[in-house]
Amino acid sequence: MKKSIFTDKAPKAIGPYSQAVTANGMIYTSGQLGMDYEGILEETVEGQAHKAIKNLIAILEEAETSIENVVKTTVFLADINDFVKVNEIYGQYFKEPYPARSAFQVANLPKGAKVEIEAIATM
């Protein structure tokens, strides 16, 4: 059985999707942008990376799990040249054993964002 997760500590979905869904002991988050609940986007890629991860943490906590249980992340970048900056921020939150991760430069992100991060975690 799947269950939708919602917290008011992260931005609400901007379309017909959930902040996250739990199913079979796993949580799948939607991609999180570096913006607050009101939709105000942080200006720098570093600020956006911090805020995107903090949004993930809030969603994971609402689902009664934590960042320590993340097994896979996907990082979408508007500019792959920001990879080093985002990687540095990422390393401040994720500890060994690190989750598996993919990172891509994409043509565009919603709201003109510079980074979007999604995660899969165990419950």
CB 46 within 8 A of CB 87: no
- Could you report the per-residue pLDDT of 21-76, keeping only the tens digit for each? 999 999 999 999 999 888 888 899 999 999 999 999 999 999 999 999 999 999 99
Domain locations along the chain? 2-122
Q: State the DSSP H helix or E strand holding residue 104, giving kind and residue range, or none if neither.
A: strand 100-105
Asked if the model's pLDDT at residue 14 lies above 90, the reply is: no
pTM attached to this predicted model: 0.95
CA distance 27 to 20: 7
Per the CB < 8 A criterion, the answer to whether 55 and 11 are in contact is yes
Fold adopted by 2-122: 60s Ribosomal Protein L30; Chain: A; (3.30.1330)
